[in-house]
């Protein structure tokens, strides 16, 4: 499914988390606070909680936020605030 979104939209944010780990879910909760801005910026952000799929992509330490611009993945390493994440996605 992720590959179809990446083909369809110019920028896709994917948050890879282990849904069983409440600490890792903070990034998702933070983004939920800014749904209006996400819609305003026309961002596509998906949550992926399939640990096996994350490992297939080489992501070993969730939570990990990846921006896909075409086939090019970019890993996020900034603050886990909605403002910082959204600014990074739209840059």
In a domain, 88, yes or no: yes
Q: Does residue 5 belong to any structural domain of this protein?
A: yes
Mean pLDDT calculated for residue range 48-62: 86
Report the C-alpha gap between 81 and 56 in whole angstroms. 27
Q: Domain span at residue 37?
A: 1-9+24-59+72-91
Q: What is the pLDDT of residue 29?
A: 87
Residue 24 in this model has a pLDDT that exceeds 80: no
Q: Is the pLDDT of residue 76 over 90?
A: yes
Number of domains in the chain: 1
Does residue 53 fall inside a structural domain?
A: yes
Residue 46 has pLDDT above 90, yes or no: yes
- Classify residue 82: in a domain, yes or no: yes
Phi and psi at residue 78, to the nearest 5°? -90, -165
State mean pLDDT over 23-50: 89
Domain for residue 35, yes or no?
yes
């Amino acid at each position: 499914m992720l590959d179809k979104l990446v083909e369809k939209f110019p920028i896709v944010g994917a948050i890879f988390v282990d849904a069983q780990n409440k600490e890792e879910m903070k990034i998702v909760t933070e983004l939920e606070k800014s749904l209006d801005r996400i819609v305003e910026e026309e961002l596509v952000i998906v949550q992926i909680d399939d640990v096996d799929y994350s490992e297939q992509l080489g992501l070993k330490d969730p939570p990990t936020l990846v921006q896909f611009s075409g086939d090019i993945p970019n890993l996020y390493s900034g603050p886990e605030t909605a403002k910082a994440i959204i600014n990074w996605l739209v840059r």
